[in-house]
Amino acid sequence: MTFQFTDDAPAIYDRVLVPLWFGRWAAALVDLVDPKPGEQVLDVGCATGVATRLIYDRVAPAGRVDGMDANPKMLAQAQKLSEGRPIAWIRSDVTQRADPDEGYDAILSQFGYHAFADKPVALASLTAQLAPRGRLACSIWDGHSVYTSALCKAVARIVSPDLAAQLAAPREAQGPEQLAQDFLAAGLRDVRMTRQERTIDIPDLRDFLPQHLAATPQTGLFGAADPCLRDALVAEVESHLAPYLQDGRLVYTDAVHVVMGYR
Ligand SMILES: C[S@@+](CC[C@H](N)C(=O)[O-])C[C@H]1O[C@@H](n2cnc3c(N)ncnc32)[C@H](O)[C@@H]1O
């Protein structure tokens, strides 16, 4: 599923979710892929471009990075945030080639893989765009965190099981072993898995939770919910997280797996 955002959702995503989750793991992913000055790199499912900008700063000025996403609102925000960095923002599905002439030295995708509708075709397309010995790296969540588990449980009971399933999808997708198998099936070699753990600190859960939901693809559904429903949801999430909460502050560990392979 591609993201269906309200107009301000990409801005909320960038302000609230990127510093807490996406930006921190983007830095870890870019460290692992280690783009070198002069390299040609593609960031797939780039959203607002947090990893893309980090890559640009490593490969510039001789190198190049392209950011690809299916969602035009995300790309508009990415363009705004990347002023001064000549990054090509490509609106496309992952199964289409970003640039028919390019052999990328590295292609990476942070938290995009679970959403690709046809995973074998997506991997075949990405592998075909790699230069010889080029590397592909995809990151996926290491299952639920205590926070996402509590949130999905509460949404299932109070809002709808279907909405909860949509929210849970990135956390309940295939694990790293299956992803590594998919890499091998696409013809990639030297496939390896790396787990990256971080401590997450949410100073005020009550303030954060509605903002998180406003930045998700399900925002339209949640936004239509009655404010009483919203309060009930916050209260239920708080009750599930009671052992982790101190004066409204939530601290927990969360982790991702990166699978990387070479053409
Ligand atoms: C969870 S977001 C992660 C984005 C970004 N990598 C980050 O870390 O901030 C997943 C992104 O993948 C994009 N996406 C989902 N399916 C896609 C597809 N088939 N082709 C291209 N982009 C896709 C979505 O539009 C969304 O912006």
* Domain ranges for the chain: 9-262
Tell me: pLDDT of 124 over 90. yes
Lowest mean pLDDT across 8-12, 117-121, 137-141: 8-12
**CB-ligand 1 contact for 4 (6 Å cutoff):** no
Measuring CA to CA, which residue among 243, 221, 244 is closest to residue 233? 221
- Model pLDDT, residue 135: 98
- Dist. CA 128 → ligand 1 center (Å): 20
pLDDT value of residue 4: 44
What pLDDT band is residue 6 in, cutting at 50, 70 and 90?
low
Percent share of the chain, pLDDT over 90? 78
Whether the pLDDT of residue 219 is over 80: the answer is no
Per-residue pLDDT at 237 exceeds 70: yes
Residue 119 predicted with pLDDT over 80: yes
pLDDT for 1 beyond 50: no
pLDDT above 60: residue 3:
no
111 Cβ inside 6 Å of ligand 1: yes
CATH 3.40.50.150 given to domain 9-262? yes
Mean pLDDT for the stretch of residues 19-44: 97
State the pLDDT at residue 2: 38
Test site for ligand 1: of 18, 53, 111, 118, most ligand atoms within 8 A of the Cβ = 111
Residue 97 has pLDDT above 50, yes or no: yes
- Cβ of 110 less than 6 Å from ligand 1: yes
Please tell me the distance from the alpha carbon of residue 25 to that of residue 198, in angstroms, as a whole number.
Answer: 8
Q: Specify the higher pLDDT residue, 217 or 175.
A: 175
Question: Is the CB of 89 within 6 Å of ligand 1?
Answer: no
pLDDT class for 247, splitting at 50, 70, 90? very high
223 — pLDDT class (breaks 50, 70, 90):
low
